[in-house]
Amino acid sequence: MISDFLLSEFDAEAKTTALTLERVPMKADFAPHAKSMPLGKLAPHVAELPGFGHTVLTTPELDFSAGPPRTRPGFESPEQLVKAFQEGAAKVRIALKQTTDAAWSDPWKLSFQGKTIFSGSRFLAYREMFLNHLVHHRAQLGVYLRLNDKPLPATYGPSADDRMGF
């Protein structure tokens, strides 16, 4: 079953993301560049991304302009960010287990005010719009951690700070 393969990958990415969020410094305005998202927005965005993954797995589409406004997790503490992330990740895990092989081929669409942002299979939406998106922003957080002298967790191999992760 496709979901079985994706589940082990998701678990590994979720574990590393939680370890990264645990190390986030509480410097809401910190950004490495004027065009970079401030840490106080980036870290909560990473923490909320599992909610989007759950939406991809359980609905045929999402229009960001429709429905109630989303509530982004606050930027109160690393523990609060990890908790929000893990709660969402638990829902993704359940949805992954329930996604049939046939459902991965179903069409999925992301739009804003009727303008299509993404249109493709649920599998591509899950990988490109959710999982790759999560990994991308986690990597950004890694830069923010490094620039604030916070240790980086091991990711796909040992980091210079966390050789015991492997």
pLDDT of residue 50: 98
Q: 3-state class of 37 per DSSP?
A: coil
Burial of 131 (0-12, 13-18, 19+ CB in 10 A): buried
Burial of 47 (0-12, 13-18, 19+ CB in 10 A): buried
- Other C-beta atoms within 10 Å of 41: how many? 14
The amino acid at 36:
S
Domain ranges of the chain: 2-165
Q: What is the pLDDT of residues 120-147, one digit of tens each?
A: 999 999 999 999 999 999 999 999 999 9
pTM: 0.94
pLDDT at 102 over 90: yes
Rg (CA), the chain: 16
pLDDT of residue 151: 95
pLDDT of residue 71: 82
CATH code at 2-165: 1.20.120.450
pLDDT of residue 70: 81
